[in-house]
Structure 1
Amino acid sequence: MDFTISPRIEDFRRRIADFVDDRILPLESDPQAYDAHENIDLAHLTVLRDQARAQGLWCLQLSPEYGGQGLGRVGMAVCYEEMNRSVFGPAVFNAAAPDDGNMMVIEALGTDEQKDWFLRPVAEGRVRSAFVMTEPDPGAGSDPGMTQTTATREGGDYVIHGRKWFITGAEGAAHFILLARTSDDPGRGLTCFLFHRDQPGWSILRRIPIMGPEEHGGHCELAFDGLRISARNVVLAEGRGMKVVQTRLGTARLTHCMRWLGLAKRCMEIAAEYAARREGFGIRLADRESVQIVMGGLAADIEIGRLLVMKAAWELDQGSFAQKEVSMAKIHVANLLHRAADAAIQINGARGYSKDTVAEWIYRYARQARLVDGADEVHKMILSRSLAAEGRDFWRWDVAPERAS
């Protein structure tokens, strides 16, 4: 593949970088810019979102029809990495989970009616959304096939019963995508639905406290006790829930990696800045071989992560599910982010452990990376199964067709 990017993508990358430098990074040192859950305060977010929209940096992942720029997955990889140089960045550009993945899957698979009432308000930033899949034991986690929540057909409606938890963004979301079981068919037993928060028959039981800073709306436990959803709000078709999940999660997992690379690079900046000026026992930290080894190793690992992400993004742009490529990127980048945050704290010493930098914020946030959208072990299992099925072809090169002479 060609590793050059188009001038158009570079223009977006450069303008995003300038916006992050000039408008977002200064807020990180202002305690008033944070909400009670350590994300950007909504008042500050609203101002920044208006500025990003005015500069044409809004919702780059969607087509122009829905207010985006149609960058494709390769362009997103470049720009999302730049956005998440700040811990506040993705939300400012309407590129944060779970809205990001929800918008892309409805744009790809939704009906015109679903796009109008569900997608447009999220794309315009008027409402937030959530993806409702994960359940308490023994229900669905990394394996959607374990879904226990049921959807029973009654005339023109489906009636939902069950429980979900760790639903990101549920508190404050207006639009929801729900995965439920419509039959015991192992291949076609799951269906995805759209519903609005004002519909009766469901409730948020609690916002689950977590270790790290939270996305807007937290991670919530939901109960469904007779929610009625019209058949016209089925996504794709009854029994095609796994197709919807695969379409959404493949790209969503990779966009996590794109953003995490930006955070990993930020950790390197925090470490490098301090190491360059801090002296001890007559020598700068940056001149110590032990620090150089850490920094050099992380620099290489970040570049490996960027290559894995770009390969997966390119595959997605070619129409592939890129399951192997996404899993490899997810494993590597999730672990890389944790190591980078740990190194930034260690090199900064007590300053790194304090809130004088965002290294400790990133460190707490990073631990979830090895769990969300499939734990490390699940993705390694996927790769092992692919290896068993493909043998040496697991590492094959795709060959371009010969050109006519």
Structure 2
Amino acid sequence: MDFTLSAETHDLCKRIDAFLEQHVLKLETDPGSFGEGENIREDLLQDLRAKAQAEGLWCFQMPRDLGGQGQDTVGMAACYEAAGRSIFGPVIFNIAAPDDGNMFLLNKVATPAQKERWLVPIIRGEARSALAMTEPHPGAGSDPAGMMRTTATKRGGLWVIHGHKWFITGAGAAKHFILLARTSDDPKRGLTAFLFDKDQPGWRIERRIPIMGPEEHGGHCELIFEGLEIPDENRLMGVGEGMKAVQIRLGTARLTHCMRWLGMAKRALEIATAYVDERQSFGRTLIEREGVQWMLAEAAMAIETGRLLTMQAAWYLDQGNQARKQVSMAKIQVADTLHKAVDVAIQLCGARGYSKDTPLEWMYRYARQARLVDGASEVHKMVLARNLMAEGREFWSWQPQRRK
């Protein structure tokens, strides 16, 4: 497995870091930089997005002919990690969830006409998007294929939608939506994916659900569908291929979470190491104390472990492998590591870390969602256990490199 970065990717990472140093990091400790949901204020965001686009630091994951940088998954891992150094970085460079995963799916499976209408505006930064899949109990959660209750009924050339979704990330700011609904009782091919936009009648946002926060732009919303009509031309993939669409999206989207979280975890240690290197107690700097060194070393090692698992999964994806168990391992490890790194950083910075003088308290609250989003850690452990039982010793086999 070769994780060597191309010269182009290496240059992108350096330019991302310089951009953050020059324009972004200073905003994180200014209360005036934050808007609704404790994310970057919209006018600041649009200004920084324009600067990033002008410098070619935009949509690293999308093809060049659509306005992106054309990075493969390994290149994305490096760029996303660099962008994750700032709590505002991913959304500035247009690689934040949920748009990131939605762009990936649409680029992979949408028709040319669908790409022009639904994908290109997201790439350009002219529209935001959301994925409407999760439902309240007893509806779809970690088992959408078996528990989806929102229905799509065919009437002529239209699909009529009735149902209830919740915790739909970004819905309050989204213009374009990808919707999963049940079209039959087939246990494997019962779901279908559709595209709709916010201006269509027949649905509404019931509420923006208050959360521990902070949030992505648009929050996490509860949606009600009462006869939304979607033309068949806005069906994404074939009838019954909704779960296939979900797996295509989430395979990479779960890993891009890890990429961004690694940048945040590294930043937390960056803040902590700078503090313990200068803070004195009982005649010695904190870094001179063995206990502090152990805390930093363990967190740094956990981050490196997460990076290697993430890069391995990225490499597997670039070889054409679905990499489900590799992605699950990375997701479990990096979610735990993010919390560990930020927790250690707060402990070492003391009251300063717990205050809003650094972004650490923001990171700490954000980190708690990592073990839940895009599959709870326990679900990913179930995936790994199933693979282990099915594969035996082959669970640990190496994959040969794809011949070009």
| TM more than 0.5 | yes
Which AA in structure 1 matches 2:78?
Answer: V
Q: Which secondary structure does the structure 2 equivalent of 1:137 belong to?
A: coil
Partner of 2:23: 23
Q: Is the 8 A contact 2:132 2:177 kept in 1?
A: yes
Q: 1:188 to 1:274 in 2, by over 3 A?
A: same
Partner of 1:308: 309
* 4+ residue segments displaced more than 2 Å: 398-403
Deviations 1:246-272 (A, max 9, x none): 000010000000000000001101110
Give the alignment's TM-score, normalised by structure 2. Answer: 0.98
Q: 1:401 to 1:19 in 2, by over 3 A?
A: closer
Deviations 1:300-343 (A, max 9, x none): 11111011000111111112211000000000000100011111
Partner of 1:58: 58
Partner of 2:318: 317
Q: CA deviation at 1:36?
A: 2.7
Q: Is the 8 A contact 2:3 2:315 kept in 1?
A: no
Q: Which moved more, 1:322-331 or 1:392-401?
A: 392-401
Which AA in structure 1 matches 2:24?
Answer: I
Alignment of 1:365-404 (within 5 A): 365-399=366-400
Q: Which secondary structure does the structure 2 equivalent of 1:273 belong to?
A: helix
Q: Is the 8 A contact 2:150 2:181 kept in 1?
A: yes
Partner of 1:82: 82
Deviations 1:342-379 (A, max 9, x none): 11110011111100000000000000000000001000
Q: 1:156 to 1:267 in 2, by over 3 A?
A: same
Partner of 1:121: 121
Q: CA deviation at 1:142?
A: 1.6
Identity %: 61
Partner of 1:201: 202
Gaps of 5+ in 2: none
Partner of 2:215: 214
Q: Which secondary structure does the structure 2 equivalent of 1:162 belong to?
A: strand
Alignment of 1:215-364 (within 5 A): 215-364=216-365
Q: Distance in 1 between matches of 2:242 and 2:33?
A: 39
Q: Distance in 2 between matches of 1:330 and 1:351?
A: 30
Q: CA deviation at 1:133?
A: 0.5
Q: CA deviation at 1:209?
A: 0.5
Partner of 1:192: 193
Q: Distance in 2 between matches of 1:59 and 1:51?
A: 13
Which AA in structure 1 matches 2:115?
Answer: K
Which AA in structure 2 matches 1:18?
Answer: A
Q: Which moved more, 1:390-399 or 1:121-130?
A: 390-399
Partner of 1:132: 132
Which AA in structure 1 matches 2:234?
Answer: N
Q: Which secondary structure does the structure 2 equivalent of 1:135 belong to?
A: coil
Q: CA deviation at 1:401?
A: 8.7
Q: Distance in 1 between matches of 2:116 and 2:236?
A: 14
Q: Which secondary structure does the structure 1 equivalent of 2:38 belong to?
A: coil
Which AA in structure 2 matches 1:140?
Answer: A
Q: Distance in 2 between matches of 1:143 and 1:347?
A: 40
Q: Which secondary structure does the structure 2 equivalent of 1:392 belong to?
A: helix
Q: Is the 8 A contact 2:371 2:377 kept in 1?
A: yes
Q: Which secondary structure does the structure 1 equivalent of 2:222 belong to?
A: strand
Q: CA deviation at 1:400?
A: 5.2
Partner of 1:34: 34
Gaps of 5+ in 1: none
The answer on 1:183 being equivalent to 2:184 is yes
Partner of 1:97: 97
Deviations 1:25-51 (A, max 9, x none): 011122111103110001000110000
Q: Distance in 1 between matches of 2:290 and 2:401?
A: 45
Q: How many residues align?
A: 403
Give the alignment's TM-score, normalised by structure 1. Answer: 0.98
Deviations 1:148-182 (A, max 9, x none): 10000000010000000000000021000000000
Q: Is the 8 A contact 2:132 2:165 kept in 1?
A: yes
Q: Which moved more, 1:276-285 or 1:329-338?
A: 276-285
Deviations 1:272-323 (A, max 9, x none): 0110111111221111111100100111111110110001111111122110
